[in-house]
Amino acid sequence: MSAPGFDPAIVSDASALQRAAADPDYCVFVEANAGSGKTRVLVDRVARLLLRGAAPERILCVTFTKAAAGEMQTRLFRKLGEWSTLPAPALAAELDSLDPEAAGDRDALAKARRLFARALETPGGLKIQTLHAYCERLLRQFPLEAGLPPGFETQEEAESKRLQLECLLTLYARAEAEPAGPVAKAIAVLLASVGPGAPDTLAAFAIARRHELARALRDAGSVQALMDVASAALGVPASLTEAAAKADGWLEAERGALEAAHSALASSKAKSDLEMAGLLENALNAAHVHPVAAFDAYCGFLLTGKGEIRKRFFTKALGDTYKILRTLYGEEGSEIHRMVDEVLPRVRAARANTLTRAGIHLACELVGLYAQRLSGRRKADFSDLVERARALLKDSEARDWTLYKLDRGLAHVLVDEAQDTAPAQWEVVEALTEEFFAGAGGMGSEQGRTVFCVGDEKQSIYSFQGADPIRFINERVLLEARCEGAGIGFRRPPLDVSFRSSAEVLHAVDLAFEAEEAALSAPERKDMTGRLEHKLLMADPETSRERQPIAFHRYGGHRAARKDTPGCVEIWPAVPKPETPEEESLDLKPVDAARTDSARNQLAEAVAQEIADILKRGDRVWEEGRPAWHARPAGPGDILVLVRKRGGLFEEIIRRLKLKAVPVAGADRMTLTDQLVVEDLLSLARFALLPEDDLSLAEILKSPAFHAVGRDPAIDDDALFDLSRRPERRLWDKLRNSDDPRFAEAREALDRARARVDADAPYAFFASFLFEASATGESRLARIYARLGEEARDPVEEFLNRALAHEREGAPSLAKFVAAMESEASEIKREMEGASGQVRVMTVHGAKGLEAPIVFLPDTTQLPSNRGTALYPHREAGLIWAPDAKDAPALVEALREEDELRTEGEYVRLLYVALTRARDRLVVCGHAHGHGKIDPGSWYDRLNHAWAGEGWDEAESAIHAVAAQYGWDCPPARRYGEAPPALGAARIAEAGPLALPAWAKAMAPQEPHAPRSVAPSRLIEDEEGGFEPASLSPLAPGGQARFKRGALIHKLLQTLPDLAPGRREASARRYLEAQTDLPPEQREEILAETLAVLSDERFAPIFAPGSRAEVAITGQAPGLPAGVTVNGQIDRLVITDHEVLIVDYKTNRPPPTEAEKVAPVYLAQMAAYRALLRVLHPGKPVRCALLWTDGPRLMELPDPLLDRALARASRPAPA
């Protein structure tokens, strides 16, 4: 075997395609296989753009996740940083490899060395971020145009859920106040039709899709009109109810014909005919009570218990005798036709109509309340960012102005992971790049502007966040058409070479999707609109019985760049359901406790044992090194276990790995309140608030907080039993009166916690308990980490962060915080990419972008479960909702099928992502579920059929040892490729005890006093020289309006100068019209005075381009008081080549007539600003002026006056 490494011929071919994709002279849309170097191509393209002279601030790179954006930025700056220090020959070779056409350009060397500094120092810099982050930045740049308040905050997910609940509770209160009102009636319909969880289901649905609902409402014109749209979509009149449809269905039947059929059935001697006669008689008799009762009884005659039409209504002999039976209920019977094709569909539609209309009414109320309260809090939630950016760029009146401003700032847009981009996000990208293809915006301009998109349809797995793989393909078609229309070069280089995986792994991946590849070999077709046709394919002809949409529209086989680095792929026999019950035991167990020998637990044991064996043997993995590849033993960090969803198998694998002392990183996502350490901390708080809570006290006593590191736990079950036998009634009383030394530390610590409960805010309460030293020296937090492992660190830190956030939201309260946490259901994510030295167990979604030498796929035998509710989004109606998914109208059935097909397509794409995470070794396994089945079409079923035949040899693994232990016949596993040789267990360096240096044992020296932070306006606060002048009282005539007036003028002077002069009046008028508490004449006065300031030629330099508003400044400077850091904000700052001008607005004051009468505090404030700016701009004169808004009038302050004020501020305070 030759030296391991990359195949030179394949690498050369792949590099040529990568260079073509990175060519900045073309717009490019790349569809790339997994591991083909997509991020490298993007980084190379940015580097070549910079080398061609593109301004860093005019390049925008967007990607799907913050981690991907960080990785992209790290790679780019690493490359540019290396260029700045490489020797000339090495740098020349690097640049020639990047762009062979520019080979020999000596000027490029100097330019390349300057790029790192240029990219770092450019104001605004390179924009490499998520699309959400860019949209947020855009909205902060144009808040008023987007309908947001300047300085808005982005609302976190947990807060959004609390606001959702708050809105729902508001509707409940409204329903209680108005029992006969529309809200109460709608809630009653939901509860009667679906059940007690219906309002919560609707609230989650409506808030998640509130922008789509709002758009449907705008298109319809009103809530009533939107409900009518839904009724029309269902094909029923708006007023039709289920009862009315049933009554009509019964009354439309021919009573005489039914009575004749009943007589015929009753004349028979056959038992089955007589039973049917009795059922029909029930319906005829119920007609005397009510037609709805008759209809329900008639359905009992027509339908089986499963709701299906009976196969036989009468015996053959009776049918031959009485033709009426065949006419009504034969195979082509008129009554069967009427009920099945007309009446029952109408009843189903009417039932869905009632629920849908109620759902729309409540959803619109919820969405309106949510938006109103969000606006009142001056916040935007995560979904607002993209939607408002889209609306700003596509639908708003300020669209042209915004695009004009942006068009001057963007020249190149690069989209990474484009397959995960949602339709609204694509609309943002299209709007940003629209001018690139219009006239001078194209390649004919000074430098061509370009669009670059890279992605892989096969890896589109985020449909729950709006990603649409068909839209990804359509965007490629659209970009190609736009380039063709504008005469711009377009390329679509395929990247099919994988630099990640071994040839054996890639061959197995291609086998898994062989059916798709064959079906897609036909040329792609486009229709008249340039949109792709839907293609249908049997995903696996051997296992799938139903036609399903193909998961992707293009599948190109993989080529492996690696050579002589063999890997392998294994598929284990599925673990069957145990046939014999467990031995009976006297131990009482929960009724839902899993069997220890369940198929799931056996599989978890096999996976954990195989991982332990791999680490013990030191199975070979390959590592790319410099200068050559080399083999090494596998370590824990080389192993990745991927599941489709977190559940019992996920948790059991982690548990079994821990039992085998295998380092494991724990769960990649967690619900905060489900974590043991959080449960213990909440128990501590509940006990501190209510000492009579015995259960909470017992829980905190058993927690790791009172378990000394390296010792047996002092408080075990026996200790608690001993304590409980004391005569006192409450456990806290027992603990306080006990002299048992096992409880001494806990008693004192909990006593201190009780003493703090009324004085400390939540963060201080928990932090004091966790960080105070225990009886044995270590902190209680150290004890928790020692007992629960490092995986407890994330939940502890997040819990403390939530406690701090709670204090910022309002008056802190421990009881309120505990109540909020108990209702908290949001997840926190742990970054697993940095979990070095530990086995990672995570979902396939979470592993997107990751890779590992060894990958296990154990969760493979189940198809995605069906939705639990028949609530679906509808483009025109907003939503359609049927009470029973199994008895739904045709429209709901169509929506359900569409949803299932979309889910199945993503299920297949998720398999592709899972398989391509493996570099050297891939292990697929699974277990029977339910009644011992493996779902047809599941991952395991597909791979078990595809991975067989030539090259697949029998193999043994840990699954066979498990089978022998539990007594079931286990066929051989199958392996493709050679088994990795054992190289001996990897050596893991163990740090021995370190001797502490002397400084660690010495008392810390006393810290110097930190500089005192002071606002400039507070430099003089003594009565003699500086209290602020008295303001007009708010209670005086016009006082409140005067205060309001000053604040509004201040805000307008801050924001309007950034707008074109022609747009200032309209924007200001819109802003003032929102101030409904001011009379119209007051608004007009404010508008006139503000515009007078902005249009006055004397003030023009203050508001000219280049001037800055609200400039934060902090620091120390000569002349300022010692030990003081001035921290302030300059209202307007103008810096020119020859001077600096500081302007501060003063409001709600009768302005003085001359500078000498200005209050000393104002003079000291301006003098402090001048001192700081003189340090920042040495050699430039710094002028100061006050702009009095109660005039308005500009007053320059003489330097001697400011000098005296600063001298007064610098005098030492009197003793």
Binding positions for ATP are 32-39
Compute CA 592 distance to the chain's CA centroid, rounded to the nearest angstrom: 32
Q: Determine which helix (DSSP H) or strand (DSSP E) holds 537, and give its type and residue range.
A: strand 536-537
Residue 319 near residue 325 (C-beta atoms within 8 A): yes
Residue 59 near residue 451 (C-beta atoms within 8 A): no
Which of 1111, 1167, 1172, 1126 has its CA nearest to residue 1015? 1126
Distance (Å, whole) CA 1126 – CA 1018: 9
Residue 703 near residue 680 (C-beta atoms within 8 A): yes
Three-class secondary structure of residue 178 per DSSP: coil
Which of 1149, 1164, 904 has its CA nearest to residue 1050? 1149
Q: Which two structure tokens, joined as six digits, stand for 990? A: 């163990």
* 86, HSE (Cβ side, Cα atoms, 13 Å): 20
The strand pairing partners of 498, in sequence order, are 560
Backbone dihedral angles phi then psi of residue 559, each to the nearest 5 degrees: -115, 135
Residue 601 near residue 607 (C-beta atoms within 8 A): no
DSSP state of 87: -
The pairing of strands 878-882 and 870-874 is antiparallel
Crossing angle of helices 131-141/382-394, nearest 10°? 60
Backbone dihedral angles phi then psi of residue 408, each to the nearest 5 degrees: -80, -10
The pairing of strands 379-380 and 127-130 is unpaired
Distance (Å, whole) CA 728 – CA 737: 9
Can you tell me which residue has the tokens 């708010």? Answer: 1034
3-state SS record for 1151-1182:
CCCCHHHCCHHHHHHHHHHHHHHHHHCCCCCE
Q: Which two structure tokens, joined as six digits, stand for 155? A: 């609302």
**DSSP, residue by residue, 789-809:** -GGGHHHHHHHHHHHHHHHHH
Q: Which two structure tokens, joined as six digits, stand for 170? A: 């508001």
Burial 927-951 (b: 16+ CB within 10 A, else e): bbbeeeebbebbbbbbbbebbeeee
Residue 1186: CB atoms within 10 A of its CB come to 25
Q: Is the peptide bond before 566 cis (omega within 30 degrees of 0)?
A: no
Q: Which two structure tokens, joined as six digits, stand for 166? A: 């708050």
Residue 1184 near residue 1202 (C-beta atoms within 8 A): yes
Phi-psi domain of 967 (left: phi exceeds 0; alpha: psi -120 through 50; beta: other): left
Determine the Cα angle at 84 with ends 81 and 89, to 5°. 125
Crossing angle of helices 344-376/198-208, nearest 10°? 60
Residue 21 near residue 495 (C-beta atoms within 8 A): yes
Q: Which two structure tokens, joined as six digits, stand for 56? A: 């860093």
Which of 132, 182, 169 has its CA nearest to residue 154? 132
Q: Which ranges in 810-889 belong to alpha helices (H)?
A: 814-822
Q: Determine which helix (DSSP H) or strand (DSSP E) holds 622, and give its type and residue range.
A: strand 620-623
Q: Which positions ≥6 away from 37 have C-beta within 8 Å?
A: 14, 18, 495, 499
Burial 547-563 (b: 16+ CB within 10 A, else e): ebbbbbbbbeebbbbbb
Residue 228: CB atoms within 10 A of its CB come to 17
Known binding residues: 32-39
